[in-house]
Amino acid sequence: MNEAERLKQQIKEMSEYCNAQGIADALRIPVEAVQAILEGKDVEIEKTQNDDQPIIQLKTTTKTRFVRNNIVTAISPGGGKGNTTLLTSLAAAAAINVPNKRPVAILDLAEFPKVPTAYGIRYLEVLENPDILWPSISTWDDSMGYSIDTCAIPHPDLENLYIVPGVMVADNYHELDLNKILKVIELLQRQFEMLFIDLPKNFFLAEKLLPFMDTVLITVTPEYGSLEGVVQLLPTLNKVNKIEQSFIVFNRVGYPGFFDTQECQEMLKNMMKQMPERVGSLPETDSIIKYLNSGKMETVILKEPHSAFAKEVNHILNQLCPHWSIAKPSSGSSDGIASIFKKLLGKKEA
């Protein structure tokens, strides 16, 4: 099946759970073209590439460019690989580096929300305080419209970063269905310059949400099972037509016993014909758990902006948003010459 046929097939599959406008927004193609495909009309598809975003144009209709804000998610072969760590770090870095301090949001669709936790917000303390209402999209009221002011938690230190929890407790997931989630995503992506989405563990639901993502980061730990898992993930990414927008991030590089980045690259190359490009390798660091457990609302991105971890997060963000001016790490890799010099001179990395 060529790319055009695959796109038509995808539109037909998406129409089972999404209306034409939603599909058009998700795929960035004119709604008239989606309707034409659903009505079985013959259309010709041309894929072009501009600097920032790939755009698909359908020749039956007037050529319209649908450019919308960037939605980034992370997926991993198996749990606990670092999706939440990666996305919360990227969202904080994005809020710091976004031009004109435009607003950035992170939507937490996990059954056990850990995005607020990653920013040091203690859920149980919030619950115990009757004056604070913990917002979540499971309780958003359709009839009142979805308002960000009442449903997002502003980050304590980054005024342009908003945290949008999906549920309060896992049981609230009964209140969330795909349609509601899609409505919320549509609203958020219109209001925010960039939207990060922490997907649910439920793979069936996650798979249905993937078509709406612009960039899919595959979080992989440098060990055999996780590398093999990338191969196990590829058919899903292929099915949702996201192979080209998927990129690998190695996480916890340097953990005792794990492979190094080069070994991982070579193993992956031997495992698959065409592997997604790698956009970063996050080092193992004690700092994440240190801040998480400190009880203070602190994170490695804010407290240790010059650490190897924070630099690599910026390096990844730079590739996601090449048109932003993000301070480049002093070296491409996380432990380059500059940090070796600092160690030789006895200076500690901040």
Q: Which does 252 bind (CB under 5 to 8 A by kind): Mg ion, ligand ATP, none?
A: ligand ATP
* CB of 103 or CB of 283, closer to ligand ATP: 283
Residue with tokens 């709406």: 212
Q: 103 in helix, strand or coil?
A: coil
The 10 Å Cβ neighbour count of residue 61 is 16
Instruction: Tell me the closest approach of the beta carbon of residue 166 to Mg ion, in angstroms.
Output: 12
Handedness of CA 285, 286, 289, 295 (dihedral sign): negative
160: contact with Mg ion by CB under 5 A: no
* CB of 85 or CB of 314, closer to ligand ATP: 85
Q: Which stretch binds Mg ion (CB under 5 A): 84-92, 94-102, 162-170, 313-321?
A: 84-92
221: contact with Mg ion by CB under 5 A: no
289: contact with ligand ATP by CB under 6 A: yes
208: contact with ligand ATP by CB under 6 A: no
Q: Which of 10, 84, 89, 314 binds Mg ion (CB under 5 A)?
A: 84
Nearest to 164 by CA among 91, 109, 244, 220: 109
Nearest to 74 by CA among 250, 180, 274, 218: 218
315: contact with ligand ATP by CB under 6 A: no
Q: Which does 334 bind (CB under 5 to 8 A by kind): Mg ion, ligand ATP, none?
A: none
8 Å CB contact between 211 and 240: yes
Instruction: Tell me the closest approach of the beta carbon of residue 99 to Mg ion, in angstroms.
Output: 29
What span, in angstroms and rounded, lies between the C-alpha atoms of 213 and 185?
10
* CB of 25 or CB of 312, closer to ligand ATP: 312
Crossing angle for the helix pair 178-191 and 20-27, to the nearest 10 degrees: 50
The count of chain residues that interact with Mg ion, using the rule CB under 5 A, is 2
The interface with ligand ATP within residues 95-124 (CB under 6 A) comprises 110, 114
* CB of 114 or CB of 342, closer to Mg ion: 114
* CB of 145 or CB of 257, closer to ligand ATP: 257
* CB of 241 or CB of 299, closer to ligand ATP: 299
User: Residue 291 class from Cβ within 10 Å (0-12 exposed, 13-18 middle, 19+ buried)?
Assistant: buried
What element of type H or E holds 283? strand 277-283
Nearest to 91 by CA among 326, 334, 323, 317: 317
Instruction: Tell me the closest approach of the beta carbon of residue 98 to ligand ATP, in angstroms.
Output: 22
Instruction: Tell me the closest approach of the beta carbon of residue 80 to ligand ATP, in angstroms.
Output: 4
Q: Compute φ and ψ for 105, nearest 5 degrees.
A: -130, 155
Instruction: Tell me the closest approach of the beta carbon of residue 299 to ligand ATP, in angstroms.
Output: 11
Between 56 and 85, how does the x/- string for binding to ligand ATP read (CB under 6 A)?
Answer: --------------------x--xxxxxxx
Instruction: Tell me the closest approach of the beta carbon of residue 239 to ligand ATP, in angstroms.
Output: 21
The sheet that has 161-165: what strands, in order across it?
153-154, 161-165, 104-108, 194-198, 70-75, 215-220, 246-253, 277-283
One-character DSSP codes across 201-243: S-HHHHHHHGGG-SEEEEEE-SSHHHHHHHHHHHHHHHHTT-S
Q: Which does 138 bind (CB under 5 to 8 A by kind): Mg ion, ligand ATP, none?
A: none
Q: Which does 206 bind (CB under 5 to 8 A by kind): Mg ion, ligand ATP, none?
A: none
* Helix count and strand count (H, E) for the chain: 15, 10
Q: Which does 288 bind (CB under 5 to 8 A by kind): ligand ATP, Mg ion, none?
A: ligand ATP
What DSSP state is assigned to residue 328?
P
Binding site for ligand ATP (CB under 6 A): 76, 79-85, 110, 114, 251-252, 282, 284-285, 288-289, 292
Binding site for Mg ion (CB under 5 A): 83-84
